[in-house]
Structure 1
Amino acid sequence: MSQSNNVRWAVIGLGWFGEVHADNLSEMPEIELAALCTRRPDRLNEVSDRLGVERRYTDYRELLADPEIDVVSITTHINDHREIAIDALRSGKHVLLEKPMAPTLADCEQIMEAARNADGFLMVGHICRFDPRVTMAKQAIEEGRIGDIISMHARRNLSKEIGETALENISALMGDGIHDADLMLWFSQANVSTVYAQEVHPGQSKYPDAGWSIARLDSGAVAVVESVWHLPKTTPYTIDARMEIIGTEGALYINCGEAGLAIHDAQGVKLPDTMYWPRPLGSYFGVLQEELRYFAKCVRSGETPQRITPAESCAAVAWMAAATESAQTGAVITL
């Protein structure tokens, strides 16, 4: 780290979410946005100029060789995650890898092997684990307030306007269903036994717009994940995300779709994000910053991140990969 004790952070990948990472990091105390990297020179200069970043790379390997960088966010296409993450870990950097960890279980296992042999930390960016609504639900479960979990159902649905921009890169189940798969495994502390899934592909993009997956957990509970990126373009939700958890002694209901603000103007009604990376009055705050702040704290203290472990992230990928296989074959998949 720098003499000022600032964590020197770089972002690899400047798509939409890479830019969100960079914007938030640039505004956070005790973090220095030290470098940016993308293969597109025009995009690199556009974002770097706006944020005042001097170190600019079009080859991530050159960035990893820079001794003035402590941490990298990897916010690239999922198919690039394995190679870049392994190279970053071998270079000695601390790595915040955006979810999903990788497209296949085999890729995840290779990344985890590199992490076990690395000096730096690996944390996968399962941002929902830092949402206070979710963490309070987890606390209530751990306190035994709903008894043993027997059933979970989640939906995480987006408008087709967003789907049309994302479905060339990833399916709705792997892209967003993985959030709820991870949370359900975290809440239940169980493992997936069997998976059955169906996907629907009404759009023209590469990957299916919608998917449902039902899993039987080794605890005996049933868990259903719904992810549909085909809501009307006029939908008021930024994201319609809700989860029901039913136990032997009670139930929990998490609503992350309605965040307490509805704006009705000439264009209609919109429910904007007020929790994850909102920017009221020109400054970011929210759950993404909490995740980044947590990882920076781990880097400063030398304490291995525990809020989400690589093995837990891998388990969510295994579920969604099995769901994809089930949807394609019609078979029940045993893990």
Structure 2
Amino acid sequence: MVSTKANDCHTIGRFYGVNGKKLGRQYRDYLSEFKDWKAKKHAKEWLVFPENMGKYLSIDETALSKGELYTIITNKKAKGKKGAIVAIMAGTKVEPIIEQLLKIPKSKRDKVKEITLDMANSMKFIAKKCFPKAIQVTDRFHVQKLALEALQDIRIKHRWEAIDMENDQIKQAKTIEKEFISETFNNGDSRKQLLARSRYLLYKAPNNWTQNQYLRAKILFEQYPDIKKAYNLVQGLRNIFNTATSIQTAYTKLAHWYKDVEATGFRAFNTIANTITLNYRSILNYFINRSTNASAEAFNAKIKAFRAQFRGVKNIEFFLFRLTTIFA
């Protein structure tokens, strides 16, 4: 049995006065079952566990070592514990992933009712080809993330302008040998600070603001009406996901939101609106069971924590052995 605690050989080595690296090698080569692991030959390319197939799956990508991406399919019912991993595939290239998944008996693949994913066309094609009877659900948080990034881009653009303006004022003050004193708003922020410190409040709904954030937002929106418009668009999109009770209701609300986007003329938000239009079927499928890809994101976080505990991934095969022993 592989235990995440017991496998920190460096810690155990320090405790017992033994060389941690040597203990790690001994564990890998003799104490664990890694040497006789049948999947070792192809582990770096693919690992599939048909017995972990469930009705509700998630598909996502994560980096295991040096930014190298792996596509991971997980069973939501396992809740990130034993039996969670259905497949781990090297890279995100469609053909080799489909090739391995199609080796799973069709009777098992046809039992999948729903699969949550992001808006990557590669993920959608994999889901369609390998799980043809499953409803595809685009993760709502990927959609909202795009809107938040567009909002932050507007804030960042104004921040650079504020930095340039302050630099010019400092230069002018120096030419006339006068000390530069930055003008501040009634909350104590300079214009540059206002735009920098507003970053986190723009991620929140107004009812979650602190008193200081409420005052800062009031000043920000008075100074930059375009940021206020963009913020309202983000909140409008969030409210659709939070309040719509059916596909029909959500469809109508998204149509109204699309008109609001067009009225602002924001290029980035028009791009988001067009992206939603192209993916509207899988986005609206969220309102059937209100499913998200949160389980996949949580599992990715576990992998990162697991990777950090063992000080990175030096031996990918051994890392995958430990990972799948615990979670597959």
TM-score by length of 1: 0.25
Higher share of residues assigned strand? 1
Higher relative contact order (CA 8 A, sep 6+): 2
TM-score by length of 2: 0.26
